[in-house]
Chains A and B, each alone.
Chain A
Amino acid sequence: MRFAYSDDLGALKEGTRAFLDGQNPPERLRREGGLELWPALEDMGLVDIAASLPLAEAIALFEEVGRTALPEPLADTAVIAAPLLQSLGAAGRRPQGARVAICHADAPYANHADTADFILLLDAQRVVWLARDAAKLVSVRSIDPWRRLFSVTGQGDTLAEGDAAREACAYAAALGATAAAAELLGLADRMIDLAVVYAGTREQFGQAIGSFQAVKHLLANARVKLEFARPVVYRASAALDSPVAVSHAKIAATDAALFAAEQAIQVHGGMGYTYEADLHYFMKRAWALAGVWGSREQHLAVVEQAVLDGGIAIGPHNSFES
């Protein structure tokens, strides 16, 4: 029993944070341009991270991705498509560095499909591998200015059917939900940070508003929620075959991020309700990720059924049985 990631991951997280802080600062988000960071992400080894790290650790790294609201849809390629293709024995379909967009019942619009090399279409009957050129894309607008969504149709190669497709579909859902949960942790952390900084500089009544308990406690509460969402996500990343662990993680991270967003906008006051403050980029990403890869309701139903209908062993002696 060892509930801790390796020291290597700690170092990698630090390195990734420094890199993303430098390459993807709020000034870049404000430019609302293209996905020019892909080559740098590839150089950093992040696009093919699942090949060099245990999957649980690769997913945990997405906390750092969420922290800067990275526009490049790295998770779709790195920790959803790559392990999924691997599990289907189809890793060879994807040349190293190729970008994959995903279309799934829980994530029905493929993010940045227009610049992806391939698109994976998954449903419970069939898993289809589609070159971008062979896909018909119809643009759908997201509230997040950095998410370019498309509904996708087209004829491609069938990678799996029947039971194998159903399993692949469930595996993709688990990967997607857990990666989104990890990003939501980072987003929550960043939104708390932004509010702490704002409260430390904005003065009213002759002092920084961050010195008032009424303001402090909003952010302390957000921190408590985050503190207890993180280990739930870590647990899920190492237990992807447990639907309860995955659903719990998506719920906990969603709640922590949405709560952090609400506290952060409150602390920002009127500025929080503008497009000028950076906060909105992080809030919008959090709202988007809260909805994709399974709604809160959908995940709650999974946990509720397991816990209340006796599907899993509970109690203090069954800490890791679910």
Chain B
Amino acid sequence: MDLTYTPAQQAFRTQVRDWLAEHVPAERLPSFDTAEGFEAHRAWERTLKQGDWGMVTWPEAYGGRGADLIEWLIFEEEYFRADAPGRVSQNGIFLLGPTLMEYGTEAQKARFLPAMAAGDEIWAQAWSEPGAGSDMAAIRTRAMRDGDAYVINGQKIWSSRAVFADWCFGLFRTDPDSSRHKGLSMILLPLNSPGITIRPIAQLDGDPGFAEIFFDDVRVPAENLLGPEHGGWGVAMATAGFERGLMLRSPARFQKTAERLVTLCRARGANVSAQTRALVVQAWMDAQAYCYSTYQTAGKLMNGGAVGPETSCNKVFWSELDRLMHRTALSILGAAGELDAPQAADEARWLDGYMFSLAGPIYAGANEIQRNIISERVLGMPRA
């Protein structure tokens, strides 16, 4: 155990902090679930790229800076400290990127990763279907091989920001005679392909952050297959591992929310009950616990270890923590909590954040599914 940062790590932190202080927009950007906000966030991604901060852990050849996981954690800590804009490219950089690193051909990596890190191509995920949500193996949308192309027919849903994004990575049934987990493939395709229709779905906050994607004889070059044909389930599980594991939600995000909650609690002083103060302290402790856990996982990976199904614990923990923190803030705020002005004062961000926190236990695999994974694959309990 060595819980101090090396001089090089401290210098890295200073470098990140200084750059962010100079470049983070003074005003909060509009929500990236709107057309205007999406483009504003894309512009921010390009600014990040100019500083070579697009995806710090990636190799330089793919638009990164070859940072290790501790440096990544430091970057994230400074990023949230600076209240920098949310990552509109998150589905690409945090989920598809690592999957490409593992399963992509050299040509695919060279083609897709640098544009992803630069914000030039923003990715949406096309996995869920109306009949395949938690039961993802029920996917029916087909991608049939026809010469040097796949022809896709069917429908995807809950695809975040697909209305605005450039590409999607989808899971399709490539073997028509297969069922369940077998016969699926991961395919990458541009969202402006002929035959694609995208219909926005207004989210809880009214923004068109979700979409349905309809595929009507959409032709995709066969070279856009990621990983083995009919082996897409394994590829998707690797992606889901990144999603639930380290990348999607770094601890800094929750430490920042906990800090805001503590600040709010302090400002309201004697008006906050002992019971609520205890919840605020619990929130701070849990955010710290998630931080220590992530440093521990980083240490394990850097020592050549691997992470397994226990990453499902992460997703349950942070999503319920996030909901608790926002609910606690709202109980302190009273009437001010209702105000809908996401660009205004900190007070007005809590209800917006609370709404999003309600999605946390649902997206990236509902928490009930995570609990099934924990009980069956971590604890070894019998399958139903």
Chain A positions near chain B (C-beta within 8 angstroms):
1-5, 54, 56-57, 192, 196, 199-200, 207-208, 210-213, 215-217, 219-221, 223-224, 227-232, 234-235, 237-239, 248, 251-252, 300, 303-304, 307-308, 310, 314-317, 319-320, 322
Contacts and interface: CB of A to CB of B under 8 A. Distances in A.
Contacts of B379: 192, 196, 216, 219-220, 223
B300 interface: yes
A232 B17 CA distance: 27
Interface in B353-384: 368, 370-372, 374-376, 378-384
A210 B302 CA distance: 36
B50 interface: no
Contact of A303 (B3, B259, B285, B376): B285
A4 B300 contact: yes
Given A196-B381, A216-B375, A227 B281 contact: no
11 contacts: A3-B299, A200-B380, A211-B382, A211-B383, A216-B372, A228-B289, A228-B313, A307-B284, A314-B258, A316-B76, A316-B80
B381 A4 contact: no
B256 A228 contact: no
A308 B371 contact: no
A238 to B, nearest CB: 4
Contacts of B370: 220
Contact of A238 (B1, B6, B256): B1
A2 B288 contact: no
Interface of B: 1-6, 9, 13, 17, 70, 73, 76-78, 80-81, 251-253, 255-256, 258-259, 262, 265-266, 277-278, 280-281, 284-286, 288-293, 295-296, 298-300, 303, 310, 313, 316-317, 368, 370-372, 374-376, 378-384
Given A220-B375, A304-B277, A4 B303 contact: yes
A308 B313 contact: no
A227 B317 contact: yes
Given A196-B379, A252-B289, 15 more contacts: A2-B2, A200-B381, A219-B375, A228-B313, A231-B292, A239-B3, A307-B262, A307-B281, A308-B266, A308-B280, A310-B266, A314-B259, A315-B255, A315-B256, A316-B252
Looking at A57, A304, A307, which has the most chain B CB atoms within 10 Å of its CB? A307
B382 to A, nearest CB: 4
Contacts of B376: 216
A49 B235 CA distance: 46
Contacts of A224: 313, 316-317, 374
Contact of B384 (A5, A211, A231, A237): A211
| Overall SS of chain B's interface | helix
A228 B295 contact: no
A188 B5 CA distance: 32
A150 B158 CA distance: 63
B70 A1 contact: yes
B281 A319 contact: no
A192 to B, nearest CB: 7
Contacts of A210: 375, 381-382
A190 to B, nearest CB: 13
Contacts, number: 172
A255 to B, nearest CB: 9
Contact of A252 (B76, B81, B285): B285
B292 A235 contact: yes
Given A228-B313, A231-B289, A319-B291, A223 B378 contact: yes
Contacts of A310: 266
B5 A248 contact: no
B291 A1 contact: no
Contacts of B17: 317
Contact of B292 (A215, A234, A303): A234
B255 A316 contact: yes
B281 A300 contact: yes
A308 B1 contact: no
Closest 10 CB pairs of A and B: A216-B375, A316-B252, A231-B292, A4-B299, A220-B371, A3-B295, A316-B255, A220-B374, A238-B1, A315-B259
Given A208-B382, A224-B313, A307-B262, A216 B371 contact: yes
B249 to A, nearest CB: 12
B384 A228 contact: no
B292 A1 contact: no
A207 B382 CA distance: 10
Contacts of B291: 319
Contacts of B290: 228
Contacts of B256: 315-316
B296 A231 contact: yes
Contacts of B298: 3
B192 to A, nearest CB: 38
B285 to A, nearest CB: 5
B1 A234 contact: yes
Contacts of A2: 1-2, 299
Looking at B6, B76, B285, which has the most chain A CB atoms within 10 Å of its CB? B285
B9 A1 contact: yes
Looking at A3, A192, A235, which has the most chain B CB atoms within 10 Å of its CB? A3
A295 to B, nearest CB: 14
B15 to A, nearest CB: 14
Contact of A232 (B4, B258, B292, B313): B292
Contacts of A314: 255, 258-259, 262, 284
Contacts of A238: 1, 3
Given A2-B299, A219-B381, A316-B76, A232 B252 contact: no
Given A3-B298, A219-B379, A213 B368 contact: yes
B148 to A, nearest CB: 45
A4 B292 contact: no
A1 B3 CA distance: 5
Contact of A4 (B1, B78, B288, B374): B1
Contacts of A192: 379
Contacts of A251: 285
Contacts of A56: 1
Contacts of B13: 317
Given A238-B1, A315-B256, A316-B252, A223 B313 contact: yes
